[in-house]
Amino acid sequence: MKALRLHGIGDLRLHEEPLPVPIDGEVLLRVTAVGICGSDLHWFEEGSIGDARLAHPLVLGHEFAGVIESGPRKGERVAVDPALPCWQCEYCETGYPNFCRATRFSGHGKDDGSLREFMAWPERALFPLPDSISDVDGALLEPLGVALYALDLGQIRVGDAVGIFGCGPIGLMLIRLARLNGARQIVATDLRPHRLAGAEQMGADVTLLADAGGSERAAVLDATRGRGIDVAFEIAGVNAAVETAMETARPGARVVLVGIPADDRTSFCASTARRKGLTIQLCRRMAHTYPRSIALAASGQIDLASLASHCFPLAEYQRAFATAAAREGLKVVIEP
């Protein structure tokens, strides 16, 4: 089978490798669709993400769907949870498997991911896909799960004004989810006009072009008639967006930080956050969201297909990563 491995910064190589052999509890999975995530781009562009460093040629990919190729469920189309917690520690037992310190994660650290034709993966992490959800849509259920978890942290109330600062795929999903959750007004900002167009399609009331200096902040406040944002989501991974979230949040607001900064540092004006008494939440992946994600997509309440702007075969991985790194379109998908 073919597998795509990252050897160093920008150094992806396609390898011919033997089929993986499932162990107890695992099945052989034929990978059908893999979304390129911002996390994958951190590995590709920096050789690291946060404090994790590239230690061996790594197969990236954690947003994926596939078809089971072994066992009683052979032939079943599935979405795949990329996180494998221990299910025995305090965090797992109290409902927070995303904090498990023993978690294995597809395409991270020592664990190879899904940018290959076949992989062995635990059956318990596979979720059946209804016929109404395509394989490409199935790969987007993972980022939808992250958006759902961030939404839960934000605790939006009916009638709230919501700010979305960064309109990549997760930001766009959050716009739709905020609307479904009763947001009265949604203000969205991004550096790229085509993403703001996507924000409008997802239901944003106000879209504003951002810049590194935060010149859009006055317009955000004007849009809320000076009151400010009730719940702010930062999904850009840059401090300018964090500052915008803090500056435009009303006193007592919640600010949810979802973006991952390239230098592993987030900063903001402490006096602004303190004087406003802001509640600041950081989003760590997701927990228990796949059933909800599948139900939302299957019911048509969120349109995942419109987010997959580019699809490439595995052989065209260079074009796929170049497109994703240039932040062209919305979501780039590789179909092994």
- Give the model confidence (pLDDT) of 259-310 as tens digits: 999 889 999 999 999 999 999 999 999 999 999 999 999 999 999 999 999 9
Cβ pair 66, 30 in contact under 8 A: yes
Global pTM value:
0.95
Work out the pLDDT band at 61, boundaries 50, 70, 90: very high
- Give the model confidence (pLDDT) of 195-238 as tens digits: 999 999 999 999 999 998 889 999 999 999 999 999 999 999 99
* 7 within domain boundaries: yes
Assess whether 132 and 212 both reside in one domain.
no
Assess whether 105 and 72 both reside in one domain.
yes
Query: What's 65's domain CATH number?
Result: 3.90.180.10
DSSP 3-state of 289: coil
- Give the model confidence (pLDDT) of 242-263 as tens digits: 999 999 999 999 999 999 998 8
Assess whether 149 and 62 both reside in one domain.
no
* 316 within domain boundaries: yes
Assess whether 112 and 179 both reside in one domain.
no
Instruction: Rounding to the nearest 10 degrees, give the CA dihedral for residues 162, 167, 172, 176.
Output: 20
* 164 within domain boundaries: yes
* 114 within domain boundaries: yes
Assess whether 149 and 134 both reside in one domain.
no
CA dist., res. 334 & res. 44, Å (int): 15
Assess whether 159 and 69 both reside in one domain.
no
Assess whether 69 and 134 both reside in one domain.
yes
* 289 within domain boundaries: no
CA dist., res. 115 & res. 31, Å (int): 8
Query: What's 201's domain CATH number?
Result: 3.40.50.720
Assess whether 237 and 320 both reside in one domain.
no
* 261 within domain boundaries: yes
CA dist., res. 270 & res. 266, Å (int): 12
- Give the model confidence (pLDDT) of 102-150 as tens digits: 999 999 989 999 999 999 999 999 999 999 999 999 999 999 999 999 9
* 239 within domain boundaries: yes
Q: 136: domain range?
A: 2-140+304-335
- Domain total in the chain: 2
> Among 296, 232, 314, 276, which Cα is nearest to 60's?
314
* 294 within domain boundaries: no
